[in-house]
Every structure is written in structure tokens, then in C-alpha cells.
Amino acid sequence: MKILVCIKQVPDMESRFSVDPSGTWYDSGDLAWRMNEYDEYAVEQAVLIKEQLEDADITVLSIGPQRVKETIKKALAMGCDRAVHIEEERVHNRDPFEIASLITAYASDKGFDLIFTGLQSQDRGSGQVGLLLAEMLGVNGISTVVDFSLDGDQLTVQRELEGGTRATIKTQLPALVTCQLGLNTPRYPTLPNIMKAKKKDLLALGAEQLTQTASRQETIRLFLPDKKTGGLILEGDAADLAEQLIRTIKEKTTVLS
């Protein structure tokens, strides 16, 4: 079985963010980087299948600048067999359609039986790439998966729906699954596996080698939300509270002016 896992490198969400000079993305200087949390579940699920099936082979793919290789190495240390790095310094300027097109250009002739992506990325959060990729490759796509079972070429999953309900879906391979938090428990790479990852194949491809797809979306402006002032607590008996409330409304709003 041939498995593809698509991952993204994102900033640590505890970082202090600022808007870059272009005004359309965040400043990447002085940020700590990690694997997108949703993608960790995708990698773990692929490795679990590899442990279940003796003939499974996992390719991990990521798009981005040179620093992305560190995140790729983590996926290899978790158990992926080989890696593809699509080199793109300005990956944040590419919309979900372009990202899916780049992956399709690589994967379309590789005969992958099963493809895993995260539900969404923690920085852009579009949640579009996985299902766009399924459509472009012409395979069954199932999103928001929180439970997974594979029996031969029969795939049974549970999708998380609104309000905590779940839907059970069955489909045939080939298929693509986008992974929700809680699908499994991602493992920590062991030191021996980290050392082994350094010897695994990593194929580097330039984005321009694969496709020149035009974008469908454009980010006009990125900005931090305005800071809101704290609430005001009024204390006293009912008569005093009513008087304080009316006075505060007059002073701080135009409702009673």
C-alpha cells in the first residue's frame, strides 16, 4: 500500500505575532516553528497503518522554504519512509487551490492508495487543501475524521459533526482523509528513529518544475484585532446601581445623549 501524508510547517502558536511590511502576512522573523498540529495526527495514522500492514510505504510531503526540512525530518523520525520537499520560499502567497495543484502535480502518477492531510493549518485555517486535492486526483475525500478503520480496501471512518454528533462513512480506496484533533495520540520520535531519519530519502523539487497554476484568491490585508477595554463592575444597592448605570451610559456612549 502506498500512502501519502501532506504536512505543513507553522509557527508555534505561543509566538508573538506581528504583521509583516507587506501587510498581507505575519512577520516570520524570530518565530519558533513546528509541525501543524492537525498534521501530526495525519502522520501518526499513516504510521499506525504501516504497523498494521507489512507492505505499507509512507511518503511525507511538505511545501515551503528550506527550514521546512526540519519538520519533514520529524515526520520521518515518527515513521514515514521517504520525503518530498517542494521548495517554495513564498508559499504563504499561494492560495489553497495553488497548494493543492502543486501536490497534485507530484502525486497524480504515483498511484497512492491512501492520502492523509490535517483538517486545516493553524496559521491560515482555510480547511480547503485536502478536499481540493481529493477532487483534483479523482479520489474519495472525507473530512474531519476522528475515528479510522481499514479492512483490505474498505475504509470506515467517523466524521465529527456540529454539536458533538458523529457520522459513520464507508468508502473504497483510493481515498483521502483530513484528520481532526483526537483521531489518535501522536508519538514522540525516539532518539534511534531521529538518527535513522537522517539517512532516509528526501527528494527536493522546485515549485516551478511542477505547475504554474494561477491563484484564485488574494489576501488584501492582514491585521490584528483592535484591543477592547475591560468591563466595568458597578457595586452598591439597587438605587445607587441605577444611578451609576445611567451616568456611565451618558458619559461613555451616545445612547442617552
> pLDDT class for 167, splitting at 50, 70, 90?
very high
Cell matching residue 136: 483534483
pLDDT reported for residue 257? 60
pLDDT reported for residue 145? 96
Model confidence pLDDT, tens digit, residues 106-161: 999 999 999 999 999 998 889 999 999 999 999 999 999 999 999 999 999 999 99
What is the average pLDDT value for the chain, to the nearest integer?
A: 91
Q: Give percent of the chain with pLDDT exceeding 90.
A: 67
Model confidence pLDDT, tens digit, residues 31-69: 889 999 999 999 999 999 999 998 999 999 999 999 999
**pLDDT higher at 27 or 192:** 192
The string of DSSP codes covering the chain is -EEEEEE-EEE-TTSPP-B-TTSSSB--TT--EEE-HHHHHHHHHHHHHHHH-TT-EEEEEEEESTTHHHHHHHHHHHT--EEEEEE-TTGGGS-HHHHHHHHHHHHTTS--SEEEEESS-TTT----HHHHHHHHHT-EEEEEEEEEEEETTEEEEEEE-GGG-EEEEEEESSEEEEEPTTSS-PPPPPHHHHHHHTTS-EEEEEHHHH--PPPS-------PPPPPPPP----S-HHHHHHHHHHHHHHH-STT-
Cell matching residue 89: 520560499
Taking the domains of the chain in order of start, what are their residue ranges? Answer: 2-210
Q: Measuring CA to CA, how many Å separate 166 from each of 146, 155, 186, 253?
A: 9, 16, 22, 46
Superfamily of domain 2-210: HUPs (3.40.50.620)
Q: What does DSSP say about strands 57-64 and 82-87: parallel, antiparallel, or unpaired?
A: parallel
> pLDDT class for 220, splitting at 50, 70, 90?
confident
